[in-house]
Amino acid sequence: MSAKDEASILRRLKSIEGHVRGVSRMVEEDQYCIDIVNQIGAVQRALGKVSELVLDRHLHTCATTAIRGDNPSDRERVIEEILDVFKSSGRR
């Protein structure tokens, strides 16, 4: 992963971390439940975006290298990993 991509992902994760702390405060302060649920949804969407960015990097680097490589077991491993990600996320 390039330093630029890594920095962008880490920035997003730190922002999400702060957002989660804010949701915790909302719970501690007994704020309106729907407001809390909405903030949790925002955190989930932000994590989804980070996941997309990491998967994009994986597909453009690790997976591409394995698929273009000479080792058939590496190709199969990478394909299985990607399929597993989609299966575990409910996307098919």
What pLDDT score does 1 carry? 72
Kindly write down the DSSP assignment for every residue of the chain, as one continuous string.
--HHHHHHHHHHHHHHHHHHHHHHHHHHTT--HHHHHHHHHHHHHHHHHHHHHHHHHHIIIIIHHHHHSS-HHHHHHHHHHHHHHHHHHT--
pTM of the model: 0.82
pLDDT tens readout for residues 42-91: 999 999 999 999 999 999 999 999 999 999 999 999 999 999 998 988 76
What pLDDT score does 89 carry? 81
Domains of the chain: 3-89 (1.20.58.1000)
Q: What is the mean pLDDT of residues 17-26?
A: 98
Q: What is the mean pLDDT of residues 22-31?
A: 98
